[in-house]
Copies of this chain bind each other. A is one copy, B any other.
Amino acid sequence: MKSTIKPWKRTSEKEVIKNRVFSVNEFRAEHHEKSGTFVCIHCPDWTNVIAQTEEGEIIVVYQYRHGQDRITCEIPGGVIDQGEEPLHAAKRELKEETGYESNEWEYLGKTAVNPAIMSNSTHLFYAKNCKKTSHQELDEHEDIEVTLISELEFLDKVISEEIDHSLILAGISKWLLKTKR
């Protein structure tokens, strides 16, 4: 990092809201002669999995999403529990949401969800040769439909924006650069 930009210094901070998904902190920060009030959203880290079956198909999940009040097409993923290893969470979410498991996991890396206003990161995985070993085990409010599609259909759904969740697209950029280049 060759940047000459200098960080700001936080001088006071307070939590202004907390719910089961996130908390919001408001804080004062200073930088040379400047100062201001800023906000930050705190969430646990998340994980997403590009999961591919032995036949080469990608596992996608349809679910209702409250933030945009619509059904989305996504890849499996979810919240990493406190103290849980990202890989453990990825394996758990894949199994719970789809009933599939894999013995071949590749870590694609992590992405800062939104470093401007959020503190958390998402850990991205690629699971190969997935096998269906069980039924779904969904959380109380989850209702998830699992579908298998070819790699070509998967990328076409990105182009057509049926798959449009930024954290999934972030994973796809790493997957393309690490496995397809």
Within 8 Å of chain B (Cβ to Cβ): is A113?
yes
Within 8 Å of chain B (Cβ to Cβ): is A114?
yes
Q: CB-defined interface of A113-133 with B at 8 Å, one 1/0 digit per residue?
A: 111111101100000000000
Report the separation of the CA atoms of residues A143 and B32 in the bound assembly, to the nearest whole angstrom.
11
Q: CB-defined interface of A47-79 with B at 8 Å, one 1/0 digit per residue?
A: 000000000000000111111111111000000
The bracket for how many chain A residues form the interface is: 35 or more
**Number of identical monomers bound together in the oligomeric complex:** 2
Chain B contacts of A38 at CB under 8 A? Answer: 66
A:9-31 near B, CB below 8 Å: 10, 16-17, 19, 21-22, 24, 26-27, 29, 31
Among B2, B159, B178, point to the contact of A159 (Cβ < 8 A). B178
Asked if B66 and A5 make an inter-chain contact with CB atoms under 8 angstroms apart, the answer reads no
Chain B contacts of A118 at CB under 8 A? Answer: 67-68
Known contacts: A26-B19, A176-B176. The answer to whether A64 contacts B167 by CB under 8 A is no
Within 8 Å of chain B (Cβ to Cβ): is A162?
yes
Known contacts: A22-B39, A176-B173. The answer to whether A66 contacts B29 by CB under 8 A is yes
Interface residues of A (CB under 8 A from B): 1-8, 10, 16-17, 19, 21-22, 24, 26-27, 29, 31, 34, 36, 38-41, 62-73, 109-119, 121-122, 140-141, 143-145, 147, 155, 158-159, 161-162, 164-167, 169-174, 176-178
